[in-house]
Amino acid sequence: MKKGIGVLLVVGMLWASDCRAQVVYPRQTFTFDTSGLGGFVGPFQLDLQLTDGSGTGDGNTSLTVDNFVIDGVGAPGIAAASLTDSAFFTEVMRGFVPGGTLRFDLSGSFGVDTDPTTGTVTPDEFSLAILKGDGTEVPTTDPSGALLLVDFDNLSPGAVTTRVFQIVPAQAVPESDVPVLLVGAGVFGIGFALRRHKA
Ligand SMILES: [Ca+2]
């Protein structure tokens, strides 16, 4: 083998190994206050998503979500979920009956999706949202309705970008609206009585 070709091969292998480099993401425990779900209508679902930063489904990030705990008690009814970014978008749903708190572990391994030409990093992103009975996200302090976002944008597991949000409780009916509703019901009742009287 010519020396030049050998060097090219080694460089190519290094480049390939760098692109495929996987970093262990050690088990992280996340806990959320879910007491605010009481004002919403279920049944509720945990919406677990993994979006591939490369957009090609490069499969360099694999995550496990497990050890679900509700109000401090293990919830074996919520099966562990595995997500790999072998497609642009991967989603797993898990039905759950909320209590005051929800806890789970996130672990796995990840790669950082770096454009080989520009060096721009578009992270693989894990997200958790809770869906209401109508299939829409429970509102949170994140505009997209996420409760948790983890962006795998750094080869140091301790330096990936993690953002935790809070549930925004449903708005109670303002007290000033109550008399209006009662008056409306009263007018309807009078009209109904009059129609019955005429009939
Ligand atoms: Ca990826």
Within-domain flag for 198: no
**12-39: average pLDDT:** 79
Residue 168 is which amino acid? V
Within-domain flag for 190: no
Within-domain flag for 20: no
Q: Could you tell me the CA-to-CA distances from 111 to 21, 81, 89, 154 in Å, in that order? A: 6, 19, 16, 9
Instruction: Give the separation between CA 51 and CA 61, rounded to whole angstroms.
Output: 10
Domain count within the chain: 1
Within-domain flag for 196: no
Which tens digits make up the pLDDT trace of 99-146?
A: 999 999 999 999 999 999 999 999 999 999 999 999 999 999 999 999
Which tens digits make up the pLDDT trace of 65-112?
A: 999 999 999 999 999 999 999 999 999 999 999 999 999 999 999 999
Cα(124) to centroid(ligand 1), Å: 5
Cα(41) to centroid(ligand 1), Å: 35
Within-domain flag for 192: no
Cα(46) to centroid(ligand 1), Å: 22
Within-domain flag for 135: yes
Within-domain flag for 123: yes
Domain that holds residue 130: 25-170
Determine the distance from the C-alpha atom of residue 139 to the mean position of all C-alpha atoms in its chain, rounded to a whole number.
Answer: 12
Within-domain flag for 152: yes
Cα(80) to centroid(ligand 1), Å: 21
